[in-house]
Amino acid sequence: MDHLLSTSLLAADFTNLAKDVKMVNDSAADWIHCDIMDGVFVPNISFGFPVIEQVKKLARKPLDVHLMIVDPDRYLSRFHDAGADILTVQYEACDHLHRTVTEIRRLGMKAGVAVNPHTPVSLLKNILPDIDMVLIMTVNPGFGGQTLIPESYRKISELRKMIDERDYNVMIEVDGGIDTKNARKLIETGVNVLVAGNSIFNSADPAGTIDMLKRLE
């Protein structure tokens, strides 16, 4: 199946991050996913510019950066300078979403918009022409290791129809509870990019799990 895999560093071993980044570099994964949490928009704090900058020095795959923070406009250029190739902001955190995604693109990054589980994808109708990707959160954001919310499949299907009917060049990404058991159904429902962290880094063979998520045999 023709889909991308973005490996989430939130589940990596931060005592040996270079080793895990090298594993991803050498694997079949397509992107490296970085979750930025501020402890305000979500009830957790992850990492910021120094980590992104160091990962960028090591990475041979594009950095797929997801901002789960309030007032993301303050930091768009900083994340560009730190090395983000794709920058996704939360719909719920942006007062002027069109202005935000326009600035992301002006800076030379691909622009994504993420929606939380309770946010209808119908609210994205007017922004779809101006973005490159929609990230559907399939768990409540903030912590890894959660179970995928079943209602997510309906949202994916609805968004896929919206995109296809208007022939927009917009990818659908999903994040939260992704593993080898549900990945195929997600792709068949209309997903282009799978984000996986715990199911990869907590497995006995992370590179092998990446291969399985890419092949979906």
Asked if 25 contacts 61 with a C-beta cutoff of 8 angstroms, the reply is: yes
* Strand, helix or coil for residue 150: coil
Q: Is 95 a catalytic residue?
A: no
**Rounded CA separation 106/217 (Å):** 39
Q: Is 167 a catalytic residue?
A: no
Tell me which of 30, 38, 132, 175 is the catalytic residue.
Answer: 175
3-state SS, 36-96, equals: EEECCCCCCECCCHHHHHHHHHHCCCCEEEEEECCCHHHHHHHHHHHCCCEEEEEHHHCCC
Beta strands in the chain (DSSP E): 4-8, 31-37, 63-68, 86-90, 110-115, 133-137, 171-175, 193-196
Among 60, 119, 63, 64, CA closest to 94: 119
Tell me which of 20, 35, 38, 64 is the catalytic residue.
Answer: 35
- Catalytic residue numbers, as ranges: 35, 175
